[in-house]
Structure 1
Amino acid sequence: MKLAITAALDYRLGDPVDLMLHIEAAAIPEQAILDAVLDVGDSEYFARVSAQDMIGERIWLRRGGELNVRYSATVEIDRILTDYRTLGKVPMHQLPAETVQYLNESRYCPSNKFLHFVHDEFGDVEGGAKIGRMRDWIETHFTYAAGSSDSETNALDSFVERRGVCRDYAHVMVSLARAAAIPARVVSVYALGVEPQDFHAVAEIFLGGEWHLVDATGMAREAAMAKIAVGRDAADISFLTAYGDIEMLNQQVTVEAVE
């Protein structure tokens, strides 16, 4: 599948501000970047640095005044698709080293708080079947509500409120998986089917020796997602992090299927 992606970000900055930008689809084996254009305007400083797990790149910027970012790309998805619900859990002592960090609690995913709930609610199934039950439980019990969370909301807050946006769904999904001793991370993606269209966050679960994208909102399919970044939680995958005063003026994302 080929996806045509555009993103437009317009911000007003105060004095020169250091910014970390992370909006480009990652060039990785499961997706090919057929063409891409990024325009960030004139900046005092511009540098690319590797992102988490060497998936994608972050961009350091320093500038003041207005920031106008324009990104467009055509991405061909060539992901091996397997029904994760049929896969087994990899025994902990056999996990690859790079997956171990994704067993642990993180800022927005206090997974140890969910141990008893996971045992009581999903203890009768294992592996991918357990992950599938967790995903279905979240989609059934949560309400997608724009503006219902903020930068301080973590998975436990969302679990109590039973509502949130995509990052909240992903945080809960990741927390439940980690509570079951299954490595899980949060992924930012461009995806078909997301309403309203925006940068989207999903979970990625390590099953059967592979990572599998899981969208607890039910809006996006694994075959129609282009990965941008991966991380322990939303703090690692933010599309824009500003180390100073900043005001959003406009933000638009479009994702379309193309021949």
Structure 2
Amino acid sequence: MKFNVKSSLSYNVNGPTTFIFNIHALNTSSQTVLEESLVIDPNINHEVFTAHDGRSKFMRLKIQDPCDFSMSYAAVVDMNYKVIDESNSESFAPVVEFDSYIASFLYPSRYCQSDKLMKFSFNKFGNYTSVYDRVLAITEWIYNNIEYTSGSTDSQTSAIDTITERVGVCRDFAHLGIALCRALSIPARYFTGYAYQLNPPDFHACFEAYINGDWIIFDSTKLVALNGLVKIANGRDAADSAVASIFGNAIGTAITVDCQVMDDNFQPFVYNGNQRGISFQ
């Protein structure tokens, strides 16, 4: 299944500023970037590099003088997700068997204070007999109990804030899902990407839980089909996966995002209690 993804970001730069962007579609075992282009106006030298884990792809550039600055990215991406039968999902996560990478997603992080949600998580979800059922129950609880309201939160909002105020956007829904999973010793990581038929169009966030050797994707917002996502990055939370990080004096003036499927036979995949999971490795 092929997708055409595009994004454009514009800024007013008032002084020396370094930007780090995270908008490139990833090449993974499930996702192949067939074509991509990057246009920067004005033309500025830039550097593309990968994160220390070899996964996320970043672009860094520095602007010295005041100016209006914009960049546009486009890519054609071939997706091959895996549908997994979770009917025999284990009743607990074998923490002793996790390698160092997987284990790193068990710990509390800046926006996902799982250590403060252990009692709540065990009371609400500890009675489910399998890891998959627990994560699905978490996803459904967030969907039914947290109000999705655009512009209701900011970059400082954490999982504790979201569960207290019961309102948020996709970023907050993802952080809460991650925190509740980690409170149950289930590794969970942040997912940011392009999303087909997201309205209004924007970058989208959800989360992945590590179940029986696979990273299974969950989206508590239910705003898009799970197989309509194109991965940009994973991280412990949004601090690791920000679309744009600005070090200096600049103000964002515009952002556009688009994701279109290039195949006619797209069939939306959703979880409906049939014990199937979907994985983008």
TM-score range, shorter chain: over 0.9
CA deviations 1:185-227 (Å, max 9, x no partner) are: 1011111132211010110110010111111111223322111
Deviation at 1:249, TM superposition (A): 1.1
Cα RMSD for the two superposed structures: 1.5
Which residue in the other structure is 2:119 paired with?
116
Given that 1:51 and 1:57 are in contact with CA atoms closer than 8 Å, whether structure 2 keeps it comes out as yes
Distance 1:52 1:81, change over 3 A: farther
SS in 2 for 1:108: coil
Given that 1:52 and 1:229 are in contact with CA atoms closer than 8 Å, whether structure 2 keeps it comes out as no
With normalisation by structure 1, the TM-score equals: 0.95
Distance 1:85 1:185, change over 3 A: farther
Question: Which structure 2 segments of 5+ residues have no match?
Answer: 264-281
Question: Which structure 1 segments of 5+ residues have no match?
Answer: none
Separation in 2, partners of 1:39, 1:28:
24
1:98 counterpart (97, 101, 120): 101
Which residue in the other structure is 2:31 paired with?
31
Separation in 2, partners of 1:53, 1:208:
22
2:230 counterpart (226, 229, 234): 226
Separation in 2, partners of 1:169, 1:56:
22
Given that 1:38 and 1:72 are in contact with CA atoms closer than 8 Å, whether structure 2 keeps it comes out as yes
Deviation at 1:235, TM superposition (A): 0.7
Separation in 2, partners of 1:168, 1:160:
12
- Aligned letter for 1:205? A
Given that 2:15 and 2:250 are in contact with CA atoms closer than 8 Å, whether structure 1 keeps it comes out as no
Deviation at 1:174, TM superposition (A): 0.2
Higher-helix-fraction structure: 1
- Aligned letter for 2:107? N
2:260 counterpart (253, 256, 259): 256
Which residue in the other structure is 2:70 paired with?
68
Q: Bigger CA drift: 167-176 or 246-255?
A: 246-255
Which residue in the other structure is 2:279 paired with?
none
In the alignment, is residue 149 of structure 1 matched against residue 153 of structure 2? yes
In the alignment, is residue 174 of structure 1 matched against residue 196 of structure 2? no
Identity of matched residues, %: 30
Distance 1:256 1:86, change over 3 A: farther
Q: How many residues align?
A: 259
Distance 1:24 1:11, change over 3 A: same
Separation in 2, partners of 1:74, 1:81:
22
Separation in 1, partners of 2:161, 2:119:
17
With normalisation by structure 2, the TM-score equals: 0.88
2:82 counterpart (74, 80, 86): 80
In the alignment, is residue 51 of structure 1 matched against residue 51 of structure 2? yes
CA deviations 1:27-58 (Å, max 9, x no partner) are: 11111111111112346541122126322311
